[in-house]
Amino acid sequence: MDQSICPRFEKAISIMNKRWTTLIIYQLLEGSQRFCEIESSIGVSGRVLSERLKDLEKEGIVKRSVYDETPVRIEYSLTSKGESLKPALDQIQSWAENWIETSE
Amino acid sequence: MDQSICPRFEKAISIMNKRWTTLIIYQLLEGSQRFCEIESSIGVSGRVLSERLKDLEKEGIVKRSVYDETPVRIEYSLTSKGESLKPALDQIQSWAENWIETSE
DNA sequence: GTAATCAACTTACTTTATGTAAGCAAGTAT
DNA sequence: ATACTTGCTTACATAAAGTAAGTTGATTAC
C-alpha cells in the first residue's frame, strides 16, 4: 500500500462503493422520498436501507425530516452535498447508455 | 421491487459498486499496469484483485496482455469502454475535491 | 372493539463477499 | 542450492448483506 491515490477521491469512492448507496442517491435526485418508497423502488432490504440512510446522514449527503402530523411522516432528501453528486451520476448514466447492452 | 430504474444504469452501478473496481479503473487510467503494481498502489489483496480483473475483462472494460518475454510480462489496460469511464471518474474526483474534508 | 394494515424501523439468523495468509509454478539472482 | 519475484490460487476467518419475523404507534375495516 503506497497510498498514491488522492485521499479525498478514496473517501468519495468508499462512500459510493457501498452497495445501494448510489442507487439511493440517484433515487433521491428525483425529490424527497419516504422510507418505503425508496425500499420498493430500488429493491433494497429495509435492514440495509436503514443502515445506509444513517451513513449518508452522517456524511451530510442525506437529510431526514420528520413532519409531525398524525401519523408522523418521515422524508429523506438530499442536502446540497448530495445534490452536487448529480453531474457524476449523470456521467455514469450516459456511459451506461453508450456502453451497456440491454439484453442481459 | 417495482424496477423503475433504468436497467443500463443499474448494470453500470452493479459493476462499479463492487469493492475496488472503481479504484482499479482509476489506476489504469494512468496507463497499463502489472498485477503487483495495481495491488500495491491501491492496497487490494491479490485474491480480490484477481477476481475483479477477471470480472472487468468479462465486461470488456479491462484488457489482459501477455508479453511473451522471459520472464513473461502481463499487463492490464483499459479498453475503449474502460477509458470512456474517465469523465465519470473525473466528476467524482471534482465532487470529492469540493465536498470531502481532508482531516478524517 | 378486535383484527388486520401500514410506516419505519430493529433483531436474529443465513448466505455471500472480502480479508488474511499460505502455497505454487516458472523464472532470476547470488 | 537457496532465496526471491511475479501472477496467481486455495483454504480458512471475518465482515457485510439478504431474509424473515417482530416491534411500536397509529388507522382502517368489519
| Chain segment A25-84, per-residue pLDDT in tens | 999 999 999 999 999 999 999 999 999 999 999 999 999 999 988 889 999 999 999 999
Give me chain B's average pLDDT, please. Answer: 92
Contact B87 A99 (CB under 8 A): no
Can you give the distance from the CA of residue A69 to the C1' of nucleotide C8 in angstroms?
15
- Cα dihedral A77, A78, A83, A88 sign: negative
A99, B79 contact by CB (below 8 A):
no
A40, A83 contact by CB (below 8 A):
no
- Cα dihedral B94, B8, A61, A48 sign: negative
| B73-78 vs B62-67, strand pairing mode | antiparallel
For residue A71, give every residue at least 6 positions away whose Cβ sits within 8 Å of its Cβ, in sequence order, or none: none
User: Is the per-residue pLDDT at B104 higher than 70?
Assistant: no
Domain assignments of chain A as residue spans, ordered by start: 7-99
The residue assigned the cell 452522517 is A58
Q: DSSP class of residue B23?
A: H
Per-residue pLDDT of A18-41, as tens digits, reads 999 999 999 999 999 999 999 999
Longest dimension (CA), chain A: 55
| Interval B46-58 mean pLDDT | 97
User: Is the per-residue pLDDT at A1 higher than 60?
Assistant: no
- DSSP E strands: which ranges in chain A? 62-67, 73-78
Length of chain B: 104
**pLDDT confidence bin for B68, thresholds 50/70/90:** confident
Q: Which fold has domain B7-99?
A: Arc Repressor Mutant, subunit A (1.10.10)
Q: Cite residues whose beta carbon is less than 7 Å from strand C.
A: A 34-37, 46-47, 50, 53, 64, 71-75; B 18-20, 44-48, 51, 70-72
